[in-house]
Structure 1
Amino acid sequence: ATDFNLVVQDIAATADTLRKLPECTGKVAAIGYCLGGRLAYMAAGNGSVDAAVSYYGGGIHTQLDLADKIKQPILFHYGELDHGIPLDQVGQVKERFAGRDNADVYIYPGADHGFNCSVRASYNQNASVLAHGRTLSFLAEHL
Structure 2
Amino acid sequence: MGSFTSVSTLEGDGQFDAYVAQPQSTPRAAIIVIQEIFGVNEGIRRKCDNWAEQGYLAVAPDLFWRDTPHVELNADVAEDFQAAINHMQKLDQDRAIYDIEAAIKFARAQLGGDGKVGVVGYCLGGRLTFMAACRTDGDAFVGYYGVGIDNLLSEQHAIGKPVMLHIPTADGFVPPDVQKKMHEGLKDNRHVVLHDYKGLDHGFAAEMGVRRVEEAAQLADQRTADFFATHL
Moved more, 110-119 or 1-10: 110-119
1:2 equivalent in structure 2: 91
1:76 corresponding residue in structure 2: 165
- The alignment partner of 1:20 has SS state of helix
How far is 1:26 from its partner?
1.4
Counterpart in 2 of 1:42? 131
SS in 2 for 1:116: coil
Aligned to 1:53, what secondary structure does the other structure show? Answer: strand
Q: CA deviation at 1:110?
A: 2.1
Equivalent AA in structure 2 for residue 92 of structure 1:
K
Deviation at residue 78 of structure 1 after TM alignment: 1.1
Q: What does the per-residue CA deviation read over 1:30-60, in whole Å, with 9 as the maximum and x for residues that have no partner?
A: 1000000111111111033111100000011
Structure 2 unaligned runs (5+)?
1-89
Equivalent residue pairs, number: 143
Corresponding residue number in structure 2 for 1:103: 192
Which runs of structure 2 are paired with 1:108-119 in the superposition (5 Å)? 108-119=197-208
Partner of 2:34: none
Give 1:76's aligned amino acid: L
Aligned to 2:152: 63
* Higher-RCO chain (CA-CA 8 Å, sequence separation at least 6): 1
User: Per-residue deviation at 1:99?
Assistant: 2.9
Q: Which residue of 1 aligns with 2:106?
A: 17
Whether 1:125 aligns to 2:214 is: yes
Aligned to 2:115: 26
1 CA distance for matches of 2:177 and 2:230? 30
Q: Secondary structure of the equivalent of 1:77?
A: strand
More strand by share: 2
- The 2-side partners of 1:137 and 1:118 are apart by 18
| Aligned partner of residue 128 in structure 1, secondary structure | helix
> Which residue, 134, 142, 148 being the options, matches 1:53?
142
TM-score (ref. length: structure 2): 0.58
Which structure has the greater CA radius of gyration?
A: 2
Cα RMSD after superposing both structures: 1.5
TM-score by length of 1: 0.92
Post-superposition shift, 1:118?
4.5
Query: Which aligned runs of 4 or more in structure 1 are off by greater than 6 angstroms?
Result: none
Distance 1:10 1:4 in 2: 10
Gaps of 5+ in 1: none
More helix, by proportion: 1
Q: Give the CA deviation at 1:22.
A: 3.2
Distance 1:95 1:64 in 2: 10
Q: In structure 2, what is the equivalent of residue 135 of structure 1?
A: 224
Identity %, equivalent residues? 35
